[in-house]
Structure 1
Amino acid sequence: MLRFMPVGDSMTIGSAGEHTWRYRMWRHLCATYDGPCALVGPRETLHDKQADAPTSYAYAEPGFPRAHLAGWGEGWLHMAPLIRAAVREHRADVLLVSLGLIDLGFYTNAEQTAENVRSFTAEARAANPAVRMVWLPVIPNVRAADDPPFGAEVTAFNERLAKAAADLDTPSSPILLASVPDTWDLHTDTYDGTHPNARGEHKLAAAFATAMHQGWGVGGEYGARD
């Protein structure tokens, strides 16, 4: 059994009424992975925007393993202290991580955020020395497009994330750096300039799937599935 744990912010937890890229990834794994697998993590809910709390189970398609470690407004800063217990308790083998926008927007600069990436990695490995990770760089959002200093901080962090992946990658606990979808379009892939719509969900799932297929031979080529 290969256990995948999605780790992320609002783009990963999703909100009431959405499928989420986690669902798209599950459909992909069911179709292409040759062996038993699961999505694991300590949380299952979506974010309820009206309540401003992670209390919703109103998935567009609820019939999939909904476990994750993601939260609206959470970043590397917040997940680093949680990841050791989550990996240990849920026996995660692969972490699919999409974090950083919140950190840079509200809490830490690029250098500080990169230090939290390294802390996160150490904590995850303390629970499972053989844990594998796929990191998705920060996808520039509408703020990055409209606010040049913030956009520059996103670029600086992504450069530091790539360096951390190169520095921390080991044969026993490999790290893959996924690619930001080269066709990502804020107007057609998001509903508000940040959060993915259905088209964007597929592109996020494809970014992780492509990295694992090319880097580790896990799964196959991504094909969009409802």
Structure 2
Amino acid sequence: MMVKFGAITAYGLLSLAGEAMAQQTVKVMPFGASIVARCWRNDLEAKLKSAGITNFDFVGSQKGSPDCVAQFPGSDNDHEGHAGSQATDYAAHGNLTTWLNQQPVVDVVVMFLGHNDVVLGHKPQEQIFRAYSTLITQMRMKNPKMQIVWSNLTPLDPKRWDKDSPNNSKDIAALSAKIKEFAPAISTMDSPVRFVDNFSGYDPVADTEDGLHPNKSGNEKMASKFFSATRDAIQAASKGTAKTMRNSNIGTDFNNVVRDFLKEQRRAS
């Protein structure tokens, strides 16, 4: 009877350990400029949790507006979105590497970035894409199995944003179309890139406060668009983390302890 109880206990512990490993917290970094600070992140978190995806944590050195938490109580307000920032500057100065290194682990990066390269920097598309490539390389240097969720850009209201530069809205549209083409091409088996189309179906007048930054309806649309790709990235990262833990010294030591326990129970019988 003693052996039977011990075996059941040991195998129960193994089962619990397996479940714990499968539910390791996945670290997700929302990354970009000012739009990343908006409430679509909190809305996205609420949608994920409503769908049963709970083993994740948004990370970053920045905090979103308290209004976002008021709209979505209990939501995580951490992110890495810096107002006025450009992909080309990030790539040149190594900002992303610094922010990634501030976190012990980053499993998923959700990237929404590029408006300012067009409307502030007036950078050519080729330069922006070189910057994107550099940033993705930096993500993979931090984590070779990085899950990347990459969105194109929301459209601009030309009446507001084409006054100083008449091609801003057209350049954003062209950049968004190119991201849609480019993102799948740099996806790998170890580090997949999941494309999100936030350009389509977004109204730069009705869905923004100022022709650029999302209002409540814009945040809702963005959260809905990001949902599937972010869910899939979290699930993929979770499986990879559990596999790594099973192959780690901690997992091996735990299994050895259980085996020794069973051997002692057999001897005692």
Task: Tell whether the structures are fold-level matches, with TM greater than 0.5.
Answer: yes
1:180 aligns with 2:212: no
Q: Which residue of 2 aligns with 1:95?
A: 109
Distance 1:140 1:156, change over 3 A: same
- In 2, distance between residues paired with 1:162 and 1:75? 19
Equivalent pair of 2:69/2:76 in contact (CA under 8 Å): no
Q: Residue in 2 aligned with 1:136?
A: 151
Give the counterpart letter for 1:138 in structure 2.
L
Check 1:159–1:186 CA distance in 2 against 1; reply closer, same or farther (3 A cut): closer
Residue of structure 1 equivalent to 2:29: 5
Retained in 1: the 8 A contact 2:149–2:195?
yes
C-alpha distance 31-142 of structure 1, shift in aligned 2 (>3 A):
same
Q: Which moved more, 1:59-68 or 1:30-39?
A: 59-68
Asked whether the 8 Å contact 2:29–2:106 carries over to 1, the reply is: yes
Instruction: Identify the residue that residue 75 of structure 2 maps to in structure 1.
Output: 64
Q: Is contact 1:8–1:98 with CA below 8 Å preserved after alignment?
A: yes
CA distance in 2, matches of 1:120, 1:210: 23
Instruction: Give the Cα–Cα distance (whole angstroms) in 1 for the partners of residues 35 and 99 of structure 2.
Output: 20
Alignment of 1:46-125 (within 5 A): 46=65, 57=66, 59=68, 61=70, 63-80=74-91, 81-90=94-103, 91-107=105-121, 108-125=123-140
CA-CA distance at 1:72 after TM superposition: 1.2
For residues 99 and 188 of structure 1, what CA distance do their matches in structure 2 show?
Answer: 21
State how far apart, in whole Å, the 2-side matches of 1:175 and 1:26 are. 20
**Structure 2 CA distance for aligned equivalents of residues 181 and 150 of structure 1:** 15
Confirm or deny: 8 A CA contact 2:62 2:78 kept in the other structure: yes
Q: Which amino acid aligns with 2:215?
A: N
Structure 1 length-normalised TM: 0.79
2:59 corresponds to which of 28, 40, 45: 40
Q: 1:73–1:133: structure 2 CA closer, same or farther, 3 Å change rule?
A: same
How has the CA–CA distance of structure 1 residues 38 and 144 changed in structure 2, closer, same or farther, with 3 Å as cutoff?
Answer: farther
Q: Give the superposition deviation at 1:167.
A: 2.7
Letter in 2 for 1:143: P
Residue 105 of structure 1: how far off its partner (Å): 1.1
The number of residues matched between the two structures is 203
Change beyond 3 A, Cα 1:194–1:119:
same
Percent identity over paired residues? 23
Q: State the one-letter code of the partner of 1:180.
A: N
> Structure 1: which 4+ aligned runs deviate by more than 4 Å?
57-60, 215-219
In structure 1, C-alpha distance between the alignment counterparts of 2:187 and 2:28, rounded to whole Å: 18
Partner of residue 198 from structure 1, selected from 203, 216, 219: 216
Structure-2 change in CA distance of 1:34 and 1:152 (3 Å) = closer
In the alignment, is the contact (CA less than 8 A) between 1:95 and 1:133 conserved in 2?
yes
Structure 1 segments unaligned to the other structure (5+ residues): 15-19, 47-56, 220-226
| Structure 2: unaligned runs, 5 residues or longer | 1-24, 237-269
Q: Say what the alpha-carbon RMSD is for the aligned residues.
A: 2.5
Distance in 2, Cα, partners of 1:146 & 1:45: 25
What is the TM-score of this pair, normalised by structure 2? 0.67
The code of the aligned residue for 1:102 comes to N
Partner of 1:168: 186
Larger radius of gyration: 2
Deviation at 1:30, TM superposition (A): 1.6
Partner of 1:26: 45
